[in-house]
Structure 1
């Protein structure tokens, strides 16, 4: 082949953008232009300890096993010697008799006839052997082939382009890895910011609140229907609003309706809307809440109280997105995300035949449970301060906090109305507290005795501890009683009271301050 033809082949080689295309082009050119019957390309493994098959073209002079590999640390085959020396090696029919130790090599050359030599040619890049070409060459052509520099230069171009593609692939992989890592870091920062923002709305450090906030962020990134379950007053609407605010629909409407607060005969018209004259009193067209929630979120509170006939219509809207206003001749379409809430056992209502089973499963694609306040009483002080701060902002007051004794009494309440009840209690107490003052026990409303949790008054070591639910508060109350008893006994003399309890006066005074004992 002329120099011009090799130049054209080299140009075609450089047009390859993938390594498998490059090796295929190399093998095809060598076999056709050099008149070779068999041509095999071996490349080192990643760890450099093995030679693995990359490409081959065979007319059965070489018996190629596509799965064969050669250990280059084992010098029982000639490939290892070529890699070591970096020089071509030619084995004729008789020389092959000396290489009978390595089974896979023997199998490879078992079909070579006497007039064919085995030529092994190293591909060198940056003084390192980066590949090995194996040819089945006629004895007459072997010398001429070894002296031909043009195909060898062509192989050199192949190796440089191979290295370039390897470098590009490596850099691309590193760039992709860095991009993924950066994306993950940004996602984690956004996640932490969202968690922090949620903690300002859904206040609490209990494990159940951390879990709740995590579930909200997970489901916010989807369009799944969410069922928020929890007792009355736990903040189910806050959860629904948080799901909307952290979703891709946050710039669109959030439409809420309490299914239990609207009479059954009006609920359908509120949801679907109506045309003028659709029924008596329909003096003008009204757009329903489903239409208003288009591209946003529809929140159906207390969905367990929805009538059965309306449940089937809601299911159709959820499945198709289409609905028909009362009195309308044409259907409309609304693309909304549904969040429902209930304080009742909806599964039990399904079993009792009071709620459609198919609608239940459609609503519960992602169930969320909101814990009751008595499940996380350790959060009470955080909630109290949160509500005090909210009262201060709304009413432009500066109530500084809550006294320890007041907090102790608040923790003894059972809160059947949950967080909503606590908020009402705090706002009531704030209204009775002076500017720059602290919430006193006297500002709290009267609690019914049945609603109080008895933490127990420890009068002796032999007392009944069975009813204690908060050890820290019980111990604090015990200390308060002991210190007050000693102060009464010594008529307010703190030095004598401290001495009688075996503690320094400074420690005694510090405990009085901490426990808000002013005697």
Structure 2
């Protein structure tokens, strides 16, 4: 190869932007120009204790696999001698026999025959050893006297070091960028957790986990299923998922599936065309369409009729739906958040809820803890509700006495946080201006033993006479609701609160059970 050709190869070498491409170009040029049978580059490991091949495999005379490496302090192979002396080494077929005691090296040179030699050449720059070149070549050839390829190797070394330096700097910059992003994300998370703690009050571990789950769910595009007993604040959780999501500027549309009669729920969700049914005097846009770009919250999803569940599933899968009485397909891009106080898995097993819809809803489950599991949050919740009462009623209740707080901590709260809020608001209404809530201001609590004793009266022979379970359950609910309405002298709000039910759900049950008291 002439000087001009070497310069051309050098120019091509310097155009390489990646270390792997540079090494491949360098070795290929040497094999072509020097008539090598095979070539290989060995470089030190990160800790400097081993030499490892840059190319994982070789199809020539030098047999290499991806796992092979040589200890730099093991002088049973010639690489250690080259590293120690920093001088080239030429080993003919018979000289190589001396190194057969090293199994790895013996396998490495197993393809070399009598007319071949192994040439080892150290690559160094400013006293630093960067690697070892291994050439398998014809024994008659001598490379030590040629300066052209050695000068070419020096250019390779300098460019190699430069590319490695750039890669290291780029890696450090990427690490710094990632670290900054992690710090920013952590700051955002802590800010959002602090904001959320003013909406979902409590410092217990249960509430801390709930707030983190909300933010994780809000950051996804998955459907969220909020599960928890009545009165735990499932709608607050659903609203928080919306508020901290990328859809927070779009509408949040909520509907309670248990509070709307079955024959009206479909038209509420999907809308209807004028004349679709008796009383449809004008076109109505459904809640699914209203929730476009935002969030649709279906409360008490467990009470949705089976016939409507299949239609909801289709909307969730495709985004397409048809209004009642409509002839054209409509589309809505919304995020679904559903809530229920019942065990949907049990309803699925009982055939009362579609299994495919359950899995579609339960993509990101969030469980809201009951109040009795986090009674340590009671003082903070009570202060929150007192402040809320003061703002809404322009009152100045200053707090709660220790005896009253102590009494509140002994109650089991079947209605959860909603019941506690009603209790506090009731007590605030009876508390003097600028006074503190006292024990005398608290309502009379129903003892748990009353529930258990009434339940024990139903055990035994009465169960043996049941012939229609569905009717028996309905009759039981009817008796309980009538008893509560009578106890509170017709005040359905207090009756609903005592049973831990939302007023809308309570009214719907009264309508369904034909209770007119």
Q: TM-score category by the smaller chain?
A: 0.7 to 0.9
**Residue from 364, 367, 371 that aligns with 1:366:** 364
- Structure 2 gaps, min length 5: 452-517
Aligned counterpart, 1:253: 251
Distance 1:57 1:392, change over 3 A: closer
State the Cα distance separating 1:109 from its structure 2 match: 5.0
Equivalent of 2:374, from 373, 376, 382? 376
Aligned to 2:484: none
Tell me which residue corresponds to 1:456: none
Deviation at 1:159, TM superposition (A): 0.8
The normalised TM-score by structure 2 is: 0.79
Report the Cα distance in structure 2 between the residues aligned to 1:443 and 1:371, rounded to whole angstroms: 28
Q: Return the alpha-carbon distance in structure 1 between the equivalents of residues 215 and 58 of structure 2.
A: 59
Deviation at 1:321, TM superposition (A): 1.5
Corresponding position of 1:287: 285
Structure 1 position 99, deviation (Å): 4.7
1:64 aligns with 2:63: yes
SS in 2 for 1:205: coil
Q: Name the structure 2 match of 1:308.
A: 306
Partner residue, 1:317: 315
Q: 1:38 to 1:338 in 2, by over 3 A?
A: closer
2:26 — aligned with what?
Answer: 26
Question: Matched residues in 2 for 1:148 and 1:192: separation?
Answer: 66
Give the conservation status (yes or no) of the 8 Å contact 2:58–2:64.
no
8 Å contact from structure 1 (residues 414, 451) kept in 2: no
Match of 2:35 in 1: 35
Task: Give the 3-state SS of the residue equivalent to 1:378 in structure 2.
Answer: helix
Tell me the equivalent position of 2:52.
Answer: 52
Kept in 2: contact 1:27–1:55 (CA 8 A): no
Q: CA deviation at 1:198?
A: 2.0
Contact 1:38–1:57 (CA<8 Å) still a contact in 2? Answer: no
Matched-pair contact (CA < 8 Å) for 1:27–1:56: no
Contact (CA 8 Å) 1:195, 1:213: kept in 2 or not?
yes
What SS does structure 2 have at the residue aligned with 1:368? strand
CA distance, structure 2, for counterparts of residue 56 and residue 371 of structure 1: 56
Question: Are 2:348 and 2:354, in contact at CA under 8 Å, matched by a contact in 1?
Answer: yes
Residues 1:437 and 2:435 aligned together: yes
Q: Decide which moves more: 37-46 or 195-204.
A: 37-46
Residues 443 and 117 of structure 1, relative CA distance in 2, 3 Å threshold: closer
- Map of 2:4 onto structure 1: 4
Tell me the secondary structure at the aligned position of residue 443 of structure 2.
Answer: coil
Contact 1:415 1:451 in 2 (8 A): no
Shift of 1:238: 0.7
Which residue matches 1:157?
155
Other structure's SS at 1:315 match: helix
Deviates more, 1:230-239 or 1:309-318: 309-318
**Is the deviation greater in 131-140 or in 286-295?**
131-140
1:89 aligns with 2:89: yes
Equivalent of 1:424 in 422, 425, 439: 422
2:338 aligned partner: 340
TM-score normalized with structure 1 length: 0.79
Alignment correspondent of 2:216: 218
In 2: Cα distance, 1:166 partner to 1:176 partner: 15
Residues 372-402 of structure 1 show CA distances to partners (whole Å, capped at 9, x for unaligned) of 2223222211110011112223333332211
SS of equivalent residue, structure 2 residue 144: helix
Q: Which has the higher contact order (CA 8 A, sep 6+)?
A: 2
Q: Offset of 1:419 from its aligned partner?
A: 1.2
Distance 1:14 1:58 in 2: 25
Comparing 191-200 with 65-74, which one deviates more in the overlay? 65-74
Q: Which residue of 2 aligns with 1:391?
A: 389
Q: Once structures 1 and 2 are overlaid, which stretch shifts more, 385-394 or 286-295?
A: 385-394
- Structure 1 unaligned residues grouped into runs of 5+: 454-519
Residue 186 of structure 1 corresponds to which residue in structure 2?
184
Contact 1:39 1:57 in 2 (8 A): no
Distance 1:426 1:156, change over 3 A: same
Look up the match of 1:476.
none
* Aligned residue number for residue 411 of structure 1: 409
Distance in 2 between residues matched to 1:86 and 1:175, nearest whole Å? 35
Q: Closer, same or farther in 2 for the Cα pair 1:76/1:318, shift >3 Å?
A: closer
Q: Residues 63 and 111 of structure 2 are in contact (CA less than 8 Å); yes or no, is this contact kept in structure 1?
A: no
C-alpha separation in 2, matches of 1:407 and 1:246: 34
Deviation at 1:422, TM superposition (A): 1.4
For residues 440 and 179 of structure 1, what CA distance do their matches in structure 2 show? 57
Equivalent in the alignment of 1:74: 74
Shift of residue 295 of structure 1?
1.6
Counterpart Cα distance in 2 of 1:363 and 1:41: 57
In the TM superposition, residue 300 of structure 1 has moved relative to its aligned partner by 1.2
Other structure's SS at 1:147 match: coil
CA contact (8 A) 1:42 1:132 kept: yes
The secondary structure found in structure 1 opposite 2:253 is: strand
* Paired residues of 1:121 and 1:133 also in contact (CA < 8 A): yes
**Secondary structure of 1:431's match?**
helix
Instruction: Tell me the distance in 2 between the aligned counterparts of 1:430 and 1:262.
Output: 33
User: Counterpart in 2 of 1:277?
Assistant: 275
* Alpha-carbon distance in structure 1 between the residues aligned to 2:244 and 2:58: 62
Structure 1 segment 124-203 matched on structure 2, within 5 A: 124-138=124-138, 141-142=141-142, 145-203=143-201
1:8 Cα deviation after fit: 0.8
By how many angstroms is 1:154 displaced? 0.7
Q: Secondary structure at the match of 1:386?
A: helix
- The worse-fitting range, judged by mean Cα deviation, of 224-233 and 287-296 is 224-233
Contact 2:56 2:64 in 1 (8 A): no
- Tell me how far 1:96 sits from its aligned partner: 4.7
**Are 2:93 and 2:113, in contact at CA under 8 Å, matched by a contact in 1?**
yes
- Residues in 1 aligned to 2:109 and 2:342: alpha-carbon distance in whole angstroms: 80
The SS at the match of 2:255 is strand
Number of residue pairs matched by the alignment: 450
